[in-house]
Structures are given as C-alpha cells and as structure tokens.
Amino acid sequence: MEPWLVMASFMGKATSPTGGRDGTLHYGRLDLGIYNLPSHIPANFPVATGTAFAAKYRGEDRVSLAFCGDGSTSRADFHESLNMAGALKLPCIFVIENNQFAYSTPVSMQTASHDFAGKAAAYGFPGVKVDGTNALAVYDAGQLVFSGGVTAPVPVVAGGSVTFEFGALGSIEVAGA
C-alpha cells in the first residue's frame, strides 16, 4: 500500500481506502491482500489463521502476518489460532511483542514460560526470539523468517521480542504491587 494511502486513512481523507469513513488501523485493501484489522488486537490471530487457511486452500502463494502484545498470549483465541495453524501447517507468522506488562499485569504473573518464542514448540512449529529494541536484529529476524529460512511455509512465532513501554497503557495500578 502506498504511504499516502496510509496517511489518508489516518487523517480521515476521502482519498483513503475507506473513503474517509474509518481511521487509524481499521482499513484494508483486499486487492492487495490486506485484510481489515479487528479492533481488539488479540483478535488478529484468528483472522490471520483464517486468511492463511484460505490461501492454502486456494493454492495461493501468500503468508498471513499478525501482531500482538504479551497479554494477548493469555487469551484462548491466541492458543486456538496457533494450534490450528500448527496442526494444518498454515503459512502464518505470529509476532508477539513482550512489553513486560499487559496493562497493569507484569509478564511474570501472565506466564510461567521464560520467553514467548518457546511457546511455538507446543504447537509444532519454530519460534525466533529477537531483541525488539534493536532495529537491525528485528530486520535480520524478519529477513530470516520471510526468506523461508525458518522452514516456511509452516507457521512461525517470531516472538518474544522484548520491548519496553515508555508511558502508561492506562491509569491502572500495577498488579501485585
């Protein structure tokens, strides 16, 4: 998608893909294979799994890509999506950003796992851990995953990327504090 179309969407312009009727991230271009994102970020995983299933069923050379934060990994639809993608060997890449907190809940209270990339093994596909604060490391990991260097087209969790929030996600006290 051309950058001016993205900016037109953010600014609610009539020249945007939605004709100015929707802003921020809620736009898509089916002609480019870009599906409209759901409002709730964790809900991106079932959508990506579904679009990957459709691509595989149709014999299309496509990969579905979805992002979420560490808090989303505690939801049932996260696990259902990864389980289906692994069982059916769907062409998906799931990126998990470890923000250290899901709103007010620290990662240590969300999971017993040491990292999120390791969760991929439970679903039968590889995981890649990368320092999310290092742009070059993220780029290199992306190149490895998209080039098929991680046994694509099976699902991949390019997760566990450690990031840090530099501001409050909400006016909520930290759990366990």
In this structure, the answer to whether residues 95 and 54 fall within a common structural domain is yes
For each of the chain's 177 residues, which pLDDT tens digit applies? 788 887 887 788 888 877 777 666 666 676 777 766 666 667 888 988 999 999 999 998 888 888 888 888 888 888 899 999 989 988 888 888 887 777 777 878 888 877 778 888 888 888 888 887 778 887 887 777 777 655 444 555 655 555 544 444 343 444 444
In this structure, the answer to whether residues 86 and 124 fall within a common structural domain is yes
ω before 153 within 30° of 0 (cis)? yes
- The verdict on residue 16 lying in a domain is yes
Count of structural domains within the chain: 2
In this structure, the answer to whether residues 28 and 81 fall within a common structural domain is no
Contact status, residue 102 vs residue 172, Cβ threshold 8 Å: no
In this structure, the answer to whether residues 28 and 42 fall within a common structural domain is no
In this structure, the answer to whether residues 122 and 72 fall within a common structural domain is yes
CATH number at residue 67: 3.40.50.970
- The verdict on residue 15 lying in a domain is yes
57: tokens are 């069923």
SS3 70: helix
What is the four-CA torsion angle of 129, 57, 148, 100, rounded to 10 degrees? -10
DSSP for residue 154: S
Contact status, residue 77 vs residue 48, Cβ threshold 8 Å: no
- The verdict on residue 167 lying in a domain is no
pTM beyond cutoff 0.85: no
